[in-house]
C-alpha cells in the first residue's frame, strides 16, 4: 500500500464547516467517517473555512494558516458569498483559478486528487422565500459554469451537488437557519465524494503494485 494513513484538506466557506449543525455532521467529517468505515485510515479533516467567506477571504485565510507539506486529497467549495454580495463574477473567476492552483499544489500536484464542489443553489431554501429565486438560481448557475470550466481546464475532479439537489427540492432537509443543508444532505455529498476517492485509492494502489 502506498499510504497507511491519508490526509484531507477542505477549503471553503459555511457549506464546508456545516453552518448550523454539529461539526461532525459537516460533509468533510462525514466523508472521512465514510471512508474509515470502508477500511481506509484517514486523519481528521483539516478545514480552512468560515461562514461568510468569499474567495478573497479564503485566500487571506490560507495565507494565515500553517499547512502540511502536502495532502492526499483536497476539496474546494467557495463562491456563494461572492454571489450573495453581488460581487463581479470575473473577479470570482480570477480568484477561483488562483485558489484552484493552490489546491493542486496542496495535493502535491496530483490533479485527480483535487475535488471542486459546485455551489449549492440557495434559492431552493426556505430562507429564499420572498426573494427573486429565479435570479438567484440563474446567478448560481453562472458561478458554477465558471468553476466547472476551470475544473475541466486544470483536469481536477468536479462534483455537481447542485443539479442533483434541484431534481428533488421537495425532499431537501435544512439546518435550523433554513438556509444551509442538513446533516442528511451533507451525507449525500460525502457519499458522492467518497465513491470517487475510493476509486482513486484503488487505482493508485494498482499503479503502485504494477
Q: Is residue 2 part of a domain?
A: no
Give percent helix, percent strand, percent coil of the chain, each to the nearest 5.
55, 10, 30
User: Do 3 and 209 contact (CB within 8 A), yes or no?
Assistant: no
What confidence tens digit (pLDDT) does each residue in 170-180 have?
667 899 999 99
Q: Is residue 128 part of a domain?
A: yes
Cell of 202: 484503488
Closest CA to 8 of 128, 113, 105, 151: 113
Asked if residue 170 is part of any domain, the answer here is yes
Show the domain range for 150: 8-209
pLDDT at residue number 138: 97
In a domain, 25, yes or no: yes
Average pLDDT over residues 10-23: 97
Residue 3 lies in a domain: no
What is the rounded average pLDDT of the residues 43-60?
98
Share above pLDDT 70 across residues of the chain, in percent, rounded to a whole number: 92
Question: Do residues 78 and 58 make contact, with C-beta atoms less than 8 angstroms apart?
Answer: yes
In a domain, 81, yes or no: yes
Instruction: Please give the mean pLDDT across all residues of the chain.
Output: 93
Q: Looking at residue 75, which CATH number applies to its domain? A: 3.40.50.1110
Q: List, for residues 76-91, the tens digit of each pLDDT value.
A: 999 999 999 999 999 9
pLDDT beyond 80 at 163:
no
Q: How many domains does the chain have?
A: 1
Look-up of cell digits 467549495: 77
In a domain, 165, yes or no: yes
Domain assignment present for residue 133? The answer is: yes
> Using one digit for the tens of pLDDT, what is the confidence trace for 100-125?
999 999 999 999 999 999 999 999 99
CA-to-CA separations, 108 to 23, 35, 60, 116, 172, in angstroms, rounded: 27, 21, 21, 16, 36
pTM: 0.94
pLDDT band at 1 (very low <50, low <70, confident <90, very high): very low
Amino acid at each position: 500500500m502506498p499510504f497507511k494513513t491519508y490526509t484531507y484538506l477542505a477549503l471553503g466557506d459555511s457549506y464546508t464547516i456545516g453552518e448550523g449543525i454539529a461539526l461532525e455532521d459537516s460533509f468533510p467529517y462525514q466523508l472521512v467517517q465514510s471512508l474509515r468505515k470502508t477500511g481506509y485510515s484517514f486523519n481528521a479533516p483539516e478545514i480552512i473555512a468560515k461562514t461568510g467567506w468569499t474567495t478573497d477571504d479564503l485566500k487571506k485565510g490560507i495565507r494565515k494558516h500553517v499547512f502540511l507539506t502536502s495532502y492526499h486529497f483536497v476539496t474546494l467549495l467557495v463562491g456563494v458569498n461572492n454571489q450573495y454580495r453581488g460581487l463581479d463574477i470575473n473577479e470570482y473567476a480570477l480568484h477561483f483559478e488562483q485558489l484552484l492552483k493552490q489546491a493542486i499544489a496542496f495535493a502535491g500536484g496530483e490533479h485527480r486528487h483535487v475535488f471542486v464542489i459546485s455551489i449549492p443553489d440557495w434559492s431552493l431554501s426556505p430562507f429564499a422565500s420572498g426573494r427573486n429565486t429565479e435570479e438567484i438560481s440563474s446567478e448560481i448557475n453562472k458561478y458554477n459554469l465558471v468553476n466547472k470550466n476551470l475544473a475541466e481546464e486544470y483536469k481536477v475532479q468536479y462534483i455537481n451537488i447542485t443539479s442533483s439537489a434541484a431534481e428533488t427540492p421537495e425532499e431537501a432537509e435544512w439546518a435550523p437557519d433554513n438556509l444551509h443543508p442538513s446533516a442528511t444532505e451533507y451525507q449525500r455529498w460525502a457519499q458522492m465524494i467518497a465513491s470517487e476517492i475510493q476509486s482513486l485509492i484503488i487505482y493508485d494502489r494498482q499503479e503502485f503494485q504494477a
